[in-house]
Amino acid sequence: MNENLFASFITPTMMGLPIVVLIIMFPSILFPSATRLINNRLVSIQQWLIRLTTKQMMTIHNKKGQTWTLMLTSLIMFIGSTNLLGLLPHSFTPTTQLSMNLGMAIPLWAGTVILGFRHKAKASLAHFLPQGTPLPLIPMLIIIETISLFIQPMALAVRLTANITAGHLLIHLIGGATLALMNISMTTAFITFIILVLLTVLEFAVALIQAYVFTLLVSLYLHDNA
């Protein structure tokens, strides 16, 4: 319990050099590629999940929006695999870093906004001023809608960072409490351990759900602008 509570969120280094780039690239190695005419079960399940997720996200888009299919599919696979690998003991989760999540959210959000102003300028500008707005409220509404537009990438990044970080902190705290209670009461320690197991299962679900939510919101921003 002497370990710093936030030690697992510190960027790891090797010989004084940060190795976060290697950690970010590592999940892509774990996805098997289809090299045979008849795939094995792992590849078949992977392709089925990708098709199912892609179908749910991209059916609402027109042809212009569907050109983002590969990017959004790669995004959800990257975030999901990174979140799951971060649940392993003594591992590092890049998605707990707000800077990295902003680095994903801002370019994707900016791409959807630029696409909207380029192809649907009138519709994009119409979002800033709802129809039928009273004349005295027009300046205030324009300011509010502008702020809400620029908050979108921040909300994307903070949501992902907060959910992943909170889950890791809870696992760390309950794990430490379980070890401490073993010297006091084995019954209480066992109950705490059951809670820890259930929380770990919940975190596996949260890791995948947050990847889906992040990608789905980017897809919805794209739908509003494409």
11-65 residue pLDDT tens? 666 666 666 667 777 777 777 666 666 677 777 787 788 888 888 888 888 888 8
Structure pTM?
A: 0.81
The token pair that represents 109 in the structure block: 């959000």
pLDDT score of 1: 46
Model confidence pLDDT, tens digit, residues 118-142: 888 877 777 787 777 788 888 888 8
Which residue would you say has higher pLDDT here, 165 or 56? 165
Q: Within a 10 A sphere around the Cβ of 115, how many other Cβ atoms?
A: 19
Per domain, the residue ranges of the chain are 1-225
From residue 93, alpha-carbon distances to 103, 133, 153 in Å are: 15, 46, 20
pLDDT score of 4: 62
Nearest to 149 by CA among 114, 120, 122: 114
Q: Residues near 111 by Cβ (< 8 Å), separated by ≥ 6?
A: none
